[in-house]
Amino acid sequence: MQFLPEPLPYSSRAVVLLSPPIRRSWPDSGLPFGVARIGAGWHINALVDEALNLAYHGARAQDQSFNISLERELDHSIARIELVPQDMTRVFLNLFANGFYAVDKRRLEVEDGFRPVLRVAALDRGDDVEIRVRDNGSGILPELRDKLFQPFFTTKPTGEGTGLGLSISYDIITQQHGGTIEVDSMVGEFTEFTIRLPRSRRVQPQG
């Protein structure tokens, strides 16, 4: 029997690509690898940027005609923050994929000359780091906003969405990282998710 290595899922690949800061901090810390990694913290901008590239190239691989303007407002003075990179990458990939889907929906449904945009901002708010993900896609009906974070809630056709992305993200942000995630939207205009991660929190990978 031939052994074929499984391709790395996106989130693991992101971690591999982002590993240099960990390696540098490891040898002189005298701590086990995982502890040093968590203690050293992560550059949120690098994580966001990498996830955005992965999401974009993933979307382009599926549909070569897919196009969107990506705007980044990444505050370069943000200090490193303790987080579980694999899990936060998973959160970002889902938010970006949702945004890409929403702009495509709006593009197909409505206007000619519509220019899809996804904008990501990472901002230092003192005790918190704030990440905003905004798209100018189809938007979310007010009556659906309470349901978004429930497991299996999806408006996508069977086979296109499981409805688990936001419920898993909610758990990762609130339980694992002690943060918050909120949504603001106007139908036919925009959707914006805002994540706040507290700095003073020890985080553990989920079992």
Residues near Mg ion, by CB under 5 A: 94, 98, 165
The answer to whether residue 137 forms part of the interface with ligand ATP (CB under 6 A) is yes
* Helices assigned H by DSSP within 84-201: 85-109, 165-171
Task: Determine the residue with CB nearest ligand ATP.
Answer: 165
Residue 61 in contact with residue 182, Cβ under 8 Å? no
CB-closest chain residue to Mg ion:
165
Which residue in 121, 130, 118 sits closest to 191, CA to CA? Answer: 118
Q: Is 11 a residue that touches ligand ATP (CB under 6 A)?
A: no
Q: 68, 117 in Cβ contact below 8 A?
A: yes
Should residue 115 be labelled a site residue for ligand ATP when binding is judged by CB under 6 A?
A: no
In this structure, which long-range contacts are made by residues 22-26, counting pairs with CB atoms below 8 Å and at least 24 apart in sequence?
Answer: none
Q: Which is nearer to ligand ATP, 25 or 167 (CB)?
A: 167
Judged by DSSP in three states, 35 sits in helix
Q: Assess 26 for contact with ligand ATP (CB under 6 A).
A: no
Applying CB under 6 A, does 153 fall inside the site for ligand ATP? yes
Residue numbers at the binding site for ligand ATP (CB under 6 A): 94, 98-99, 102, 135, 137-138, 140, 148, 153-156, 161-167, 191
